Amino acid sequence: MLNKYFFSLWILLLPIITLGQEQGTKLQAFHNLMDGKWVTEGKWENGTPFKQEMTFEWGLGKTLVKVKTFGITNMETKSFGLRNEGIRTWSKTDSTIRFWEFDVFGGITEGVCLVEGKDIHYEYEYGKERLRESWVYKDLNTYQYRIGVYKKGKWQKVYMDAVYRRESI
């Protein structure tokens, strides 16, 4: 009787376990980002300083990537703190990795993540432009980071070009 109970439970849980594993596989490009804190400093195209720190962690049995971004939270005082929280997940509906970023100013950015090998590209609408934000894998602890307008396989305009490096937490 007990074996029958466990067998029934296993049959019910198998699709859930399989779905979690499938989504985790789709998010494999984020695996390298999980340990440590990712830090970058640079300047925007107009010369304004840019500094960010990001942490990544798995959520919901590796079906979500949860991201915390620290940066300037007050332009007048230049206060540095938690600026954004975001998620990335596989969307079964349209077979893409989707993302959402929620910022301290009440803004929400959403779009798609494109994975090319170990590189991750975010594409989203910002104002009247379609932007691409790229993390190009260099080694286990380094990504080339770029934000700009990307069309027909080429960067048309670059607003930020910097490097993210992993630091221990």
Quick one: pLDDT at residue 162? 97
Q: Which segments of 44-78 are extended strands (E)?
A: 49-59, 64-74
Q: Please give the CATH number for the structural domain made up of 2-167.
A: 2.40.128.20
For the chain, give percent helix, strand, coil, nearest 5.
20, 60, 20
Quick one: pLDDT at residue 168? 84
Query: 156 pLDDT exceeds 60?
Result: yes
Query: 12 pLDDT exceeds 60?
Result: no
* Domain ranges (residues) in the chain: 2-167
pLDDT in tens, 96-134: 999 999 999 999 999 999 999 999 999 999 999 999 999
pLDDT in tens, 52-106: 999 999 999 999 999 999 999 998 998 999 999 999 999 999 999 999 999 999 9
